[in-house]
Chain A
Amino acid sequence: MTESLPSAGVDSAASRPGLRLFILGQTETVRRAIANARQLGAVEIIDVRENPQAAEQAHVLATPTLVRTDDARIRIVGDLRNLAAVRAHLGPPYEGDPEAPAGDGDG
């Protein structure tokens, strides 16, 4: 099951490449990761149990994994607790984005 949710920063959504978040179930770690990811923009959330084929195609080895849809090599594994580091790894246009609200750290 794929779930697309509008991001907080609607204004820049069109100009930004999409993000895909692979999760498994609804654990505290997953909820935290989803909340953190949504602060970055539009995120497609994929539960690997519902869609193992998508996980296979993306070579997901752990959940949560955040992947840039335009460049699958850019990916971050974990609950994304340090949004500044996540932005830095995602690179432009996410890197140093002043419009997006700051991450809530370790949740």
Chain B
Amino acid sequence: MATEQVSTGVPGLDDVLSGGYLPGCPTLVMGQPGCGKTLLLLQFLADGAKQGHRAVCATCSEAPERMLAYMVALGHPAEAWVRDGRLVMVDLRPEPGEVVLGALDQEVVKIRLDAALAEGGVIAPEARLGIDDLNRLAYAFNPDGVARVQTLALLRLLRESGITTIMSAADDAATRAALIDYAVDAVIGLRQTVAARLMTRTLRVLKMRGVPHGTNEYPFMIDSHGPSLLPPARGMGGHRSREGLVSTGHERLDTLLGGGLYRGGSVMVSGTSGTGKTTLLGQIAQGLCTDGRRVIYVTLEQDQSELIHDFKGVGIDVEPHRATGRLRFHRARSVDCSLEEHLIRIVRLAEAEAPDAIFVDAVTSFADLDSVAAVKSMVLRLIDACKSRGVMVVLTELLADAAGMASSLGLSSMLDAWIRLELHRQTSEYVRLIRVLKGRGVRTSQQIKEFQITSAGIAIDDPYLGGGAFVFGTEKLIREREDHRERIALERRLEQLRRELEVLPQAYDARVDQTVLERDKAIESLREEIETLRTRLAASKSSEEAVREARGQP
């Protein structure tokens, strides 16, 4: 008996089962018709055959040729495996016209299976057994219970044989009564539900002895490669480190983002309708491809030809990149399939093509399919899945006009960069604005810039910053022109004052000179007058003395 769990061959299922199916034990896959039970079983067998182990496919209702054809359709070389003996078909369909008369024993089924499993008389521990539609095995699940004892004996033999076995069976009362309790160590329930007219398949582990396993209902999808699922836990914490910044090919945008976008990072472009989200994505795609990077553009809204045409109209020519295959468009319509299937398809693209970046325009289109909470969970897993594969993921989010431009998805914690585009209304026009709400680990611009879509791509301009207010658009031009006139006037005045300043001191100096002159003149004349008067007084005094002396008076 093998000690390690056995790979399921179904992408994602090993994670849900903490490693795979129980080794040496039977696992029951149960569900309504069309759920994908047989595909799970076939992938399990093909996975074994691929590794060179013996795989036995026993079928209780479908012809063995049909089962082989299914395997071939899943892309497996089933016919070659049958020829080289790796894959052995066992036809357990009842013969029509057979009647039962008296007691019977079903151990022969076990003997036939053992003979098919044995190589050189020995059953290897890696051998795998699949029994499809076990509930259709003749006599075994007869509702009147004729062979109940015999059936349980057979199931016990299968369980005790130590062979890793997958049994598929319809989910009905007889299956539950006979199989779940007696015959198997693990039970996987498959279900299909229809919501919003879209079918979703889900898988749940109902029982698994001794192994911790996921207990949720996991959505899964079936495409030409068979079933696959994407459990939420996958990749969590296992993100590759973001190795440096990648230029967007647009200098101003790089500056705004603090240098560029992280390789393998996550970017969200949010904005209301008409803000230029898709154009911005086109610009970034163009820049990345010019740098030699490979981009897959998943478009949920426009066709490839419309996008190429629209991009070209604003001077972004992506056609050369499309021609070289560096840029690949992938058209998806939200109503094509369920949310889960969209997720798995995109992750498949990321896996198969290993691009440098995946663009999804717009993730909010998925809201046609499910609740906001479900879309958010899906987008989180999408980001997670891309990051864990080192693929940059660039998403757009259409914001509702009525929601006050609030993000309904609220994914901030998962984003490395978050760009917000806005329409700003002023007087008679709208102008587009761009700002970076978040840039992890880089110095992004805190400023709101004007975002213009020109005939030569996008342009990012500084807003008018005068007068303590931000002004954009035409009003920015008007304000700027007014400013210009005002500035010229001021400069003239300044020049004038400068000249006055030069002239003024001279004028005053002249006046000062004049005043000094006048002052000196005034002083001089006063002095002269004083002197004159003193002279005259002295003269007058000496005349009086001469008269008195002459009269002989004292």
Could you list which residues of chain A lie within 8 angstroms of chain B, going by C-beta atoms? 22, 24, 27, 29, 32-33, 48-49, 52-53, 55-56, 59-65, 72-82, 85-86, 89, 106
Could you pull out 15 A-B pairs where Cβ atoms are within 8 angstroms?
A48-B108, A52-B111, A55-B111, A56-B115, A59-B93, A61-B92, A62-B105, A62-B139, A65-B98, A73-B96, A75-B95, A77-B104, A78-B103, A78-B104, A79-B101
Q: Which of B102-152 contact A (CB under 8 A)?
A: 102-109, 111-112, 114-116, 137-139, 147, 150
Additional 7 contacts, C-beta under 8 A, given A62-B147, A86-B101: A59-B92, A62-B108, A62-B150, A77-B99, A78-B100, A78-B102, A81-B101
Determine if A29 and B106 form an interchain contact, defined as CB atoms under 8 angstroms apart: no
Secondary structure at the A interface, as helix, strand, loop or mixed, is mixed
What is the bound-complex CA distance between A33 and B105, given in angstroms? 12
The complex places the Cα of A49 from the Cα of B105 at a distance, in Å, of: 13
B94 within 8 A of A: yes
Measured CB to CB, the closest approach of chain A to B60, in angstroms, equals 9
The answer, yes or no, to whether B468 is at the interface (CB within 8 Å) is no
Residues of chain A within 8 A (CB-CB) of B417 are: none
Say whether B96 contacts A53, CB under 8 Å.
no
Query: Beyond A49-B111, A52-B114, is A63–B90 a contact (Cβ under 8 Å)?
Result: no
Whether the pair A77, B108 counts as a contact (CB closer than 8 A) is no
A27 to B150, CA, bound (A): 14
Q: What residues of A have a CB within 8 angstroms of the CB of B150 in the complex?
A: 62
Q: Are A61 and B138 in contact (CB under 8 A)?
A: yes
Give chain B residues whose Cβ lies under 8 Å from the Cβ of A65.
98
Say whether B137 contacts A61, CB under 8 Å.
yes
A64 to B200, alpha carbons, bound, how many Å?
Answer: 46
Q: Interface size of B by Cβ–Cβ distance < 8 Å?
A: 30
A49 to B112: give the CA distance in the assembly, Å. 9
Residues of B within 8 A of A33 (CB): 102
Contact A76:B101 (CB < 8 A) given known A59-B95, A62-B139? yes
Top 7 nearest A-B pairs by Cβ distance?
A: A78-B102, A52-B115, A79-B102, A62-B104, A81-B102, A78-B101, A48-B108
Q: A29-B103, A78-B100 are in contact. Are A55 and B108 (CB under 8 A)?
A: yes
B415 vs chain A, min Cβ distance (A): 60
Given A24-B107, A56-B116, A63-B107: A76 in contact with B91 (beta carbons within 8 A)? no
Complex: A77 Cα to B108 Cα, angstroms = 12
Q: Using a CB–CB distance below 8 Å, which chain B residues touch chain A?
A: 90-109, 111-112, 114-116, 137-139, 147, 150
Name B146's closest neighbour in chain A (CB-CB). A78
Residues of chain A with a CB closer than 8 A to B103's CB: 29, 78-79, 81
Contacts of B96 in A (CB 8 A): 73
Minimum CB–CB distance from B156 to chain A (whole Å) comes to: 16
Interface pair B97/A75, CB less than 8 Å apart: yes
Contact B102 A55 (CB under 8 A): no
Contact (Cβ within 8 A) B112 A60:
yes
Task: Give CA–CA (A24, B111) in the complex, Å.
Answer: 10
Closest beta carbon of chain B to A54's beta carbon, Å:
10
CA distance A32 to B106 in the complex (A): 17
Known contacts A63-B104, A77-B139; is-contact A56 B99 (Cβ 8 Å): no
A56/B112 in contact, CB under 8 A: yes
Q: Would you give the shortest CB distance from A21 to chain B, in whole angstroms?
A: 13
Choose from A55, A74, A76, A81 the contact partner of B112 (Cβ within 8 Å).
A55
| Min CB–CB distance A106 → chain B (angstroms) | 8
A53 contacts B115, CB within 8 Å? yes
A76–B98 contact, CB under 8 A?
yes
Please tell me if the beta carbons of B139 and A52 are within 8 angstroms of each other in the complex: no
Of B90, B103, B109, B150, the most chain A CB neighbours within 10 A belong to B103
| Inter-subunit contact A76/B99 (CB<8 Å) | yes
How far is B541's CA from A32's CA once the two chains are assembled, in angstroms? 192
Q: In the complex the two chains form, what is the Cα distance from A63 to B114 in whole Å? A: 16
* Shortest beta-carbon distance from B94 to chain A in Å: 6
In the complex the two chains form, what is the Cα distance from A80 to B100 in whole Å? 8
Taken together as a complex, chains A and B put the C-alpha atoms of A77 and B150 apart, in Å, by 13
Residue of B nearest to A22 (CB): B108
In this complex, the member of B97, B139, B147 whose beta carbon has the largest number of chain A beta carbons within 10 angstroms is B97
Docked pose: A85 CA to B115 CA in angstroms: 33
CA A61 to CA B97, docked complex, whole Å: 14
Interface centre among B92, B95, B100, B112, by most A CB within 10 Å? Answer: B95
How far does the alpha carbon of A24 sit from the alpha carbon of B108 in the complex, in Å? 7
B104 touching A48, Cβ below 8 Å: no
A80 adjacent to B102 (CB under 8 Å): yes
Residues of chain B contacted by A85 (CB below 8 angstroms)? 99, 101
A27 contact set on B, CB distance < 8 A: 105
Q: Which of A52, A77, A80 contacts B98 (CB 8 A)?
A: A77
Interchain CB contact under 8 A, B99 and A60: no
A79 neighbours in B (Cβ, 8 Å): 101-104
Question: What residue of chain A has the Cβ atom nearest to residue B88's Cβ?
Answer: A56
With contact pairs A56-B116, A61-B139, A62-B138 given, residues A77 and B91 touching in the complex (Cβ less than 8 Å):
no
Which residues of chain B are near A63, meaning CB under 8 Å? 104-105, 107-108
Query: Which residues of chain A are within 8 angstroms of B104 by Cβ–Cβ distance?
Result: 29, 62-64, 77-79
> Which A residue's beta carbon lies closest to that of B104?
A62
Name the residue on B nearest A81 (C-beta). Answer: B102
Q: Which residues of the partner chain A approach B139 to less than 8 Å between Cβ atoms? A: 61-62, 77
B79 to chain A, nearest CB (A): 19
In angstroms, Cα B435 to Cα A52, docked, is 76
